[in-house]
Amino acid sequence: MHTMTPTDTQLPQVQEPRNDGTPLDLSWVRGVQANTSAIERRAASLPGRRTVKKDYQAAWLCKAISLMDLTTLSGDDTEGRVRRLCAKARQPVRADLLDALGMEGLTTGAICVYHDMVPTAVDALRGTSIPVAAVSTGFPAGLSPFHLRIAEVGESVAAGAEEIDIVITRRHVLQGNWQALYDEMAHMRAACGSAHVKAILATGELGSLRNVARASLVCMMAGADFIKTSTGKEGVNATLPVTLTMIRAIRDYHTRTGLRVGYKPAGGISKAKDALVYLSLIKEELGDRWLQPDLFRFGASSLLGDIERQLEHHVTGGYSAGWRHAIG
């Protein structure tokens, strides 16, 4: 890993061409396989490697903050909670720590909320470049009537959401109905208009890594700007084997089409050391270009608190209690 300067997390983004998709290529989809045992062996080796230390670790943790979709998706969300979360997105780490690290101006990558909270988040983030992402299409199950799911996307975009996290219909994958999945994804992409769309695969419910790989490819063919592991509500969410499977699908799609698609692991990533593992895997498999907010995000709620604790330890030499680093 290279030395990171403080401005690395704040560089103006090169505008990547959007993934306009390709026609559905069933021979390509059906030819995709996943060597589960090899994938699991590779994934199991990652956390045991010696990771970055000291100044390098602090820089990479600041990078992780810049790649976060800071999220609240609870039934008891209130406008006050969302405003506090947005304040945290604008100032994710205490000012004195950022000053000591030379990281003034650091923000999270986005705020992710339910549709009902989009106007509140847009208002709270006014004057910043932090986008609001809305979960949509009958999140988390994705089983409401199709016309209502499409209408929900339009409502969120009209309310100011710049990114839409949609959920796919899992049965299309489980039944191998790739045309239905492609058509669904294409309709949702069209409904998003200029807003970027993240396709949530709910990988814990797809049955196999081969299904994960094929679903990833079909969603990219249909125009997904990002593919995302999970809603965070499944029994199993983001894992390293699933991540390896999805990012290799992204790499293959880029090799064939020249189009870059983003990746978002979500659910279960709560420790700073886990974030470092994910970042190192992205760097190794996809390269530095994917370590920017337009191509990589963490779906995170509690992760930021642990990273802030690690940064305080780096600056002061002492660990503080978790309650001192509330998210909102």
Catalytic residue check, 264: yes
Catalytically annotated residue among 63, 69, 88, 165:
165
Catalytically annotated residue among 63, 88, 198, 264:
264
HEC letters along the chain: CCCCCHHHHCCCCCCCCCCCCCCCCHHHHHHCCCCHHHHHHHHHHCCCCCCCCHHHHHHHHHHHHHCEEEECCCCCCCHHHHHHHHHHHHCCCCHHHHHHHCCCCCCCCEEEEEHHHHHHHHHHCCCCCCCEEEECCCCCCCCCCHHHHHHHHHHHHHCCCCEEEEECCHHHHHCCCHHHHHHHHHHHHHHHCCCEEEEECCHHHCCCHHHHHHHHHHHHHCCCCEEECCCCCCCCCCCHHHHHHHHHHHHHHHHHHCCCCEEECECCCCCHHHHHHHHHHHHHHCCHHHCCCCCECEEECCHHHHHHHHHHHHHHCCCCCHHHHCCC
d(CA 178, CA 175): 8
Q: Which residues are catalytic?
A: 165, 228, 264
